[in-house]
Each structure stands twice: as structure tokens, then as C-alpha cells.
Copies of this chain bind each other. A is one copy, B any other.
């Protein structure tokens, strides 16, 4: 079993030292409670609602920054522990990326740059152009996407076909209206994506109002069968799940039905231009 913790946190806008301590502290606490995989929100080191690109640049870091060393140090407390969280990346090319780092006790294992930028993020960030990483760990293969990426089935399908057992999603879901009694739409998507790919999914969302933006507070862990095992709800907190990630590799459904074998890739077009 792999113990997964999705931490719902409230970073402070443009305050890197405070967010470094918040994120490393959350990782240390979750690992102390037995977490094997800790997921932290999107842009947890920087906050989200930047006044402009210059403010984002003021808290942009590279993968060799001390905050990741602090996450790696947290991982040393438990054999095989992994921390994944979002950060504002200062690229070697001088551009800013909305990125996520996967870290273990050895340091940064992978950096992923969000490929699907949401709304005003386009004013600050350059979209990534590399496929999501699928990283071998002692717990299984961990794929990483960021927030709005989850809403593009082409993207999540690729992660699953590339062998991920667990998809981790650092996210900042801005609050949307929804019918009374309904789960957030983003959680519906996570559940469906898990079911359609037989892939466990852990989403770490934000809490804490920031410059007038409220958040969905939708942190959750979803089993490969598509059911929410735990969700945080309002406020700071952690969604916990003990999952057999090996189970994600069995794509059999009932009888002769099989999620992979039943695909018809020879029929799937890469549609580039939607019909008007």
C-alpha cells in the first residue's frame, strides 16, 4: 500500500520564504504521519494571483533553489518518500513557467511545465511543450500534470498510456458556481479520468482567499476505479488514502473487456481544427 497525502494549503502571494516554510512544513508533517507521496498545490512557493509578470518574476526560482532541498530533506524521514508541488519557474531562457517539481530524498527527479495555461496565466507564463513526466519510484510510476491540464483528455490519456500508476495534480481551482449538493466539476473530471484510464489520481488544491479570488478547496484522492477515497472540503487540511498503486496496471474490466485492448487507435484522428 502507498499512503498518499494531498495537502490543501494557503500560500502567501509573492512571499517565497513564507511559502518555502509552509510547503516544507506540510511535507514534513505529512511524512511524519506516514505519507509516502505528498502532493502540494500549484504555485505553492509563490501564490497565484500575481499583480503582473514582474511580481511573478520576483518569486521565480530554478530547480536548484533551496526550497526543493527543503522538500528533499523532508523526504529523508521516510524511505522512498516523494513530494510533488508547484512553483513559479525561472527558465534558463529568461521565461516564466507554471511548473511542478517531483522531489525525493535524492533531490529533484523531474520538472514539468504546465502545457495548458488558464485565462490570465497567459499574461505571465509561457506554456510548456514537453509531455508530462512519468517517474519511476519505489511506489510505482508517478505522472505529473498541473491544474487545467487535467481537463484535456488527450493529455491525461497520454500519461496513462505512458504507464502512470498515479497521476498527481498540483492545482489552484478558482471557485465556480455549482448546483447545490454537487461535487466540484473538477472532482467529477478527476473521477471520470481515473475510471477511463484505471489510474489513481491525487489533486492538491488551494485554500485561503487571495486578492479577491476564492478557491474550490477540492483536494482529493481518487482510486483507480474512479471513486473519491478522501476529500478535504473547506479550509486547510489533507486528503489521505492508502492505495495499492500496482492495481492501476490491471486494465481488465469485466470478462473480455479491457481498457487498453479495446481502444481503436487506428481510428483515432489527431483533430487539429474543430469545426466552426
**Once the chains bind, are B154 and A257 in contact (CB under 8 Å)?**
no
The segment from A52-60, A68-76, A77-85, A119-127 found at the interface with B is A119-127
Q: Produce 1/0 per residue, A222-244, CB < 8 A to B.
A: 00011100000000000000000
| Contact present for B189 and A157 (CB under 8 Å) | no
Tell yes or no: A274 within 8 A of B by CB.
Answer: yes
Whether, in the assembled complex, A151 has its beta carbon less than 8 Å from a beta carbon of chain B, the answer is yes
In the assembled complex, how far is the CB of residue A196 from the closest CB belonging to chain B, in whole angstroms?
A: 6
Which residue, of A151, A192, A253, has the highest number of chain B Cβ atoms within 10 A?
Answer: A192
Task: Check if A155 is an interface residue, CB within 8 A of chain B.
Answer: yes
Interchain CA distance A151-B196 in the complex, whole Å: 6
Does A212 reach chain B (CB closer than 8 Å)? no
Asked if residues B120 and A264 are in contact (CB atoms below 8 Å), the reply is no
| Chain B minimum-CB-distance residue to A162 | B275
Interface residues of A in 92-127 (CB under 8 A from B): 115-120, 122, 127
Tally of this chain's copies: 2
A153-B196, A269-B158 in contact; A174/B254 too (CB < 8 A)?
yes
Q: Are A188 and B179 in contact (CB under 8 A)?
A: no
Bound Cα distance A226, B176 (Å): 13
Residues of chain B within 8 A of A266, CB atoms compared:
272
Q: What residues of chain B lie closer than 8 Å to A30, measured between beta carbons?
A: none
Chain A 164-222 interface residues, beta-carbon cutoff 8 Å to B: 174, 176, 178-179, 182, 185, 188-189, 191-193, 195-196
A-B contact pairs, 27 of them (CB 8 A): A115-B267, A116-B264, A131-B267, A151-B259, A152-B263, A152-B264, A153-B196, A155-B264, A155-B267, A157-B271, A158-B268, A158-B269, A162-B271, A163-B274, A163-B276, A174-B254, A176-B254, A178-B227, A182-B227, A185-B226, A188-B195, A188-B226, A191-B192, A251-B274, A265-B271, A268-B270, A270-B270
Give bound CA distance, A153 to B120, whole Å.
28
Q: How many angstroms between the C-alpha atoms of A140 and B98 in the bound complex?
A: 39
Which A residues lie at the B interface, using CB under 8 A?
Answer: 115-120, 122, 127, 129, 131, 148, 151-155, 157-158, 160-163, 174, 176, 178-179, 182, 185, 188-189, 191-193, 195-196, 225-227, 251, 253-257, 259-260, 262-272, 274-276
- Which B residues touch A162, using CB under 8 A? 271, 274-275
Contacts of A192 in B (CB 8 A): 188-189, 191-193
> Which B residues touch A259, using CB under 8 A?
151
Distance in angstroms between the alpha carbons of A276 and B152 in the assembled complex:
23
